[in-house]
Amino acid sequence: MRFVTVTGSLKGTWQPVMTADTTTQSYWLNWKVLVCAIWVLLSAIFSSLVIWKFEVSRKRMRDENKESEKEASPILYEDETWRPCLKGIHPVWLLWFRVFAFVVLLVLLILTATADGASIFYFYTQWTFTSITIYFGLGSLLSMHGCYQHHKKASGDKVENVDGDAEQGTYDAPPTLPQSPNPSTNEKGLGAPQEHLIRQPAGTWGYIFQILFQMNAGAVMLTDCVFWFIIVPFLTIKDHNINLLVISMHTINAVFLLGDTALNCLRFPWFRIGYFCLWTVTYVVFQWIVHAIVKLWWPYPFLDLSSSYAPLCYFSMAILHIPCYGIFALIMKLKHTVLSTRYPDSYQCVT
């Protein structure tokens, strides 16, 4: 299979043309496929080993010896899934943002599926878009639970204070907070109630939520970078207009994810790049299985195994995962640096 380049326009266009039967043995039994398979296999092995070392093994070590918890991989507390990064921000604001993002992404996904059919899930873009929609849906549920807990704790503290005063038969006015030269300091003292000294570790859904966050962070960067820096400038599908819906699907996902990143309290450990790599490996293996069964064109030209540049393309895409994940890690680092410096008493994320 090759992609025919159409001339006569300022922008290169390509149209998928079947020049080879992907269901034949000759298509798969050659050195190019072997090299590409080695790249994919090495990526899967590396990702699995990283996850096993930093996720599975350390979790098992924490279960066996609670005292070694601090030396283990970063733990996720239950309230980190719904608590904003600043004390002055009420958790309900993060809840409303996640609900709004979930509704918008779900509507866009439904509109795209209605317009183009189920074939849209043949593309990596829709895989990632669906994943980030699930992320915001799960985040909305966790935020709802967190807001309920926050309200319950605030109400409980008030009831306990009133009951204590009634038993004593007296009521003492709350002490006046000392004035601070920093106005934000006084606002923090009037904000949310003090948290429990003992924080509960996150459950299974909390860890799934954090994994989705980090996996989508890399996948969104990869999807949008490939679309805006490779496909749009150099390759445009023939007779396919880049309409507002297509632009939205390759823009609004990053906007919402960056917005949630600015508000949330989630951590971003490096080792979870393994989930991002396995996500892409799963997509590639899916494409190979489909093409081995059905004679079909490739959704992206750099996935075509009949091209003499296939090994280089697969290797380049594998390496591209590192800067895509690294860019988001730098964004997280920038957030921690700026907010912890500007709001040292209000910032409550663990770096």
Q: Encode 214-242: b = buried (16+ Cβ within 10 Å), e = exposed.
A: bbbbbbbbbbbbbbeeebeeebbeeeeee
Question: Contact at 8 Å (CB) between 332 and 261?
Answer: yes
The neighbouring-strand residues paired with 237 are 14
Query: In the prediction, which pLDDT does 201 show?
Result: 83
* Helical residues (DSSP H) of the chain, grouped into ranges: 25-28, 31-51, 57-64, 91-116, 124-168, 183-189, 204-226, 232-234, 244-249, 252-263, 273-293, 310-342
Query: In the prediction, which pLDDT does 15 show?
Result: 52
Q: What are the domain boundaries of the chain?
A: 2-152+199-342
Give Cα separations from 114 to 77, 223, 299, 315 (angstroms).
39, 22, 19, 35
CA–CA gap between residue 152 and residue 150 (Å, rounded): 5
Which residues of the chain carry a pLDDT beneath 50? Answer: 1-14, 68, 70-74, 159, 161-167, 170-197, 239
Question: Contact at 8 Å (CB) between 237 and 7?
Answer: no
Query: In the prediction, which pLDDT does 63 show?
Result: 59
The rounded Cα 118 to chain-centroid distance in angstroms is 23
Question: Contact at 8 Å (CB) between 180 and 186?
Answer: yes
pLDDT for 260-277, tens place per residue?
A: 999 999 999 999 999 999
